[in-house]
Chains A and B, each alone.
Chain A
Amino acid sequence: MPLVNNKVGNDCTVGTDKTLADGKDLVESVIKVVACYRHLAACVGGCTDSLQLRDELRQMREKALNLAEAIRLHLTSHLRDKSLPEDQRKEMELLWVAFSSSLELLHVDMCKVFSMGDNFSLANTASLVQTGLQGGGSEVAARALSLADLNQEPPTLPAGLESQERSTMEQEISQIDHMIDDMEKKVNVLRWMVEPRGPQYADPLSSTESASLALLSIDEEQPGHKPLCQRNLIFVLLLLFAVVLVAATLSVCLVLFS
């Protein structure tokens, strides 16, 4: 985890570019972990809830906390540096806002998982809600955690360890709480001055995948009318186009050979 304390005068552009890139990477990875955590948290209490899920959640929490600590030190030290040039400061502030928002999301998710863990204990599997999910969240966890984390042995938890896990969770929640408070006290980022660089609408990803998902979900409502119509239309158009092409080549051949 590179903590660059570059306060050298002349080299500062090179140094801070690297620090900016580092900061961006860290913030992106934290956002990824928070997104995956939310996916997994939505499974808690449902029929796919298991020791493995809870364990994966725990691992993701740890990773998120480590990343958060690193980013906090990185950004705090840079934003408190008065000699930071203006555009670098703006970039840092954007990262700061993104980081604090992801911390808040993580905090909410952690508190929700904590309170749901209270209500849905794994010992009583009959009370887990039949939500229709079938797979566990291992693929999502794999996306967030690195291979090294995943290769750890899933621990065989005796009954008493669940309460220990809960107290660890409480500590982690209060740790994030303090982190947010601490950050706000140390660095004063004015939210209304921060301007986002990105677009208003996220770019739609590749159309084929999105179309297939759209098919699946629309299916539930109208039994396949709309997408079938679209498919039919495309086929007809292609057919027409092919026919026109064939007719054109035939006429060209006629002209040439007559």
Chain B
Amino acid sequence: MTIRTARPNRAQHFQPRLYCLKKLESILLEMQDTKSGVKGTEQKLNITTIPHVIAGNDTIAWISNQMKTTTEEAQAFGTMLVAYGYIYPLQNHKKLVMCNDSSLYRFQTPYFWPTQKWVPDDSDYAIYLAKRNIRKKGVLEPYEQAHYNHLHEWLNHKWDFIVMQAAEQYKAGKERKKPDRVVFDCQERAYWMVNRPPRCAHSAMDCGPERLIDPNTDEKTTFDIYRRKNMFYQQAIMRSKVKSSVSLGALVKYITTYKNHDPFLASCLPSNPWQTDHDAYWTLNMRRVEVPTKMRVERWSFSLFELLSDLRGRDDFKIFLKKEFSGENLAFWEAAEELKWGTSSSMSTKAETIFKTFLAPGAPRWINIDGRTMGLTVKGLEHPHRYVLEAAQTHVFLLMKKDTFFRYLKSPTYKDIQKKALNPEPHNFSPANLEQNALNRSPGIHPIILWQQEEEEKAKAAAASAPVDVKAMMSKIDRKK
């Protein structure tokens, strides 16, 4: 069994954003040219001087000259060069930006350049951290320490090798002259600062998901590509089109309706749990809460779809329909949903019950759909599948939408719940409070408990809606007497 951790990326996956780096390398080579590139000076340390140091303002001036752009763009370009690790700062090595002043930078050696194929390896990082530790014990930053401990667990089988290799590399480094040693240490440190950045630092190396096609190579145009293009365009012609004014109008209408309900665009009341670690928002908006929040109730009025998707809203709608004695539409819609989403083994029994309850002539909860749909549905029910009730369900939905929904919105049930709805105050947490909240985070209600509650409610509802057993009623009345 192989655990080959140091294998190159043999063209299986491509990190799409990094392919532009190849173009950077040519500019970089121009930049470091002694004659026409950025002017290099020497860096004076305690005892030694190290050559080939460039200043930030010189670099930015050169870039803006060479690429004929403004200083701001040149500065941004320089910062990207630093962020990707082609140039590293000497004075503040943790902050990977290029400043337009006399701060000093140096070019990184090509061995440490970020090319596409060489993923920075975990065992290399472990060796580097071990080397830092050999040089001076306890000099690792907390995040590096955490990495080190994790790697010790993860690469435990190689640990002897890692320690030995770190010791050997350190000893080999000591053979070199002091300035070279310092330069090499700085280079390595810069490389790992780019490739294993500290927490909460912006890293240029964040790239999206890996692709299976190499973005560098041009796709060969074969016959198959043209065939697929043809199919695509033919289907596109046949699609029904809408004028952009109409579709944009619909989009604008959607945005104006929902803009106060979007947690990104408007603050959610009382507070966004992801930001403040206080879960009042979730507990107030649970499935079976007695009194819903105002925003939730407002959302029910947007469309029947919203009302039915929110189960609390559906309950409310059911109460209204019970008063009106027209609950069979909703019951049919719910039964059809159950058929769609249920298990395939239960499909035939469900189809039977639905037919007996809703569709058979003279059924107890007969729904009023037009003859054609009824005929199609009954025929389909002979060989039931998941979507056999689709047409009937849509028809019933439209009936509800056009008629019952608006009556609901004007009904005392809805107005009542609108009045009762809660409008929680927005929280105002100080940083100390936020810390406290973060410490007091709890895992919340276990999903099994929620599921049990649901089962209980379902049993209650089934018992309540079961046909009344006359004999049992009579015997109860007798007993009372």
Binding site for B on A (CB under 8 A): 28, 31-32, 34-36, 38-39, 41-47, 94, 97-98, 101-102, 104-105, 107-108, 111-112, 115-116, 119-120, 126-127, 129-135, 137, 139-140, 142-144, 180, 184, 188, 190-192, 194-205, 209-211, 213-217, 219-221, 224
Contact = CB atoms under 8 A, between A and B. Distances in A.
Interface in B102-148: 106-112, 115, 117-118, 121, 123-124, 130-131, 133-137, 139
Contact of B52 (A31, A131, A140): A131
Interface stretch (B61-69, B90-98, B360-368, B372-380): B90-98
Interface in B278-318: none
16 contacts: A31-B161, A31-B168, A35-B168, A36-B172, A38-B169, A44-B111, A98-B164, A108-B8, A129-B28, A130-B51, A131-B108, A133-B109, A194-B157, A196-B159, A198-B163, A204-B137
B106 A126 contact: no
B183 A191 contact: no
A98 B6 contact: no
Contacts of B193: none
Given A34-B168, A129-B110, A180-B4, 17 more contacts: A39-B173, A39-B176, A98-B158, A98-B161, A101-B123, A105-B6, A130-B32, A131-B187, A133-B109, A140-B173, A191-B1, A194-B157, A198-B164, A200-B159, A202-B167, A220-B91, A220-B182
A102 B165 CA distance: 8
B369 interface: no
Contacts of A196: 156-160
A130 B40 contact: yes
B185 interface: yes
B397 interface: no
Given A132-B50, A202-B166, A97 B45 contact: no
Nearest to B33: A126
A31 B161 CA distance: 8
B136 A214 contact: yes
Interface residues of B, number: 83
B175 A140 contact: yes
Contact of A216 (B7, B46, B112, B156): B46
A177 B274 CA distance: 49
Contacts of B2: 180, 184
B439 interface: no
Contacts of A205: 134, 170
A142 B187 CA distance: 23
B118 A46 contact: no
B160 A98 contact: yes
Given A98-B164, A108-B121, A116 B111 contact: yes
B178 interface: yes
Contacts of A180: 2, 4
Given A98-B161, A101-B161, A139 B111 contact: no
B180 interface: yes
Contacts of A38: 169
Contacts of A108: 6, 8, 118, 121
B1 A188 contact: yes
A126 B159 contact: no
Contacts of A220: 43, 45, 90-91, 182, 186
Interface of B: 1-8, 25, 28-29, 32-35, 40, 43, 45-48, 50-53, 90-93, 106-112, 115, 117-118, 121, 123-124, 130-131, 133-137, 139, 152, 156-187
Nearest to A109: B111
A132 B40 CA distance: 10
B46 A224 contact: yes
Contacts of B121: 108
Of A28, A34, A97, A216, which is in contact with the most chain B CB atoms at under 10 Å from its CB?
Answer: A216
Contacts of A104: 4-7
Contacts of B110: 44-46, 116, 119-120, 129
B135 A213 contact: yes
B35 to A, nearest CB: 7
Contacts of B163: 198-199, 201-202
Contacts of A98: 158, 160-161, 164
Contacts of B171: 35, 143
A195 B181 CA distance: 33
A34 B165 contact: yes
A43 B35 CA distance: 22
Contacts of A198: 159-160, 163-164
A213 B157 contact: no
A84 to B, nearest CB: 19
Contacts of B5: 104
Of A94, A107, A130, A140, which is in contact with the most chain B CB atoms at under 10 Å from its CB?
Answer: A130
- Name the 9 nearest CB pairs between A and B, nearest first: A45-B110, A35-B168, A104-B6, A98-B161, A196-B159, A130-B52, A139-B175, A132-B52, A194-B157
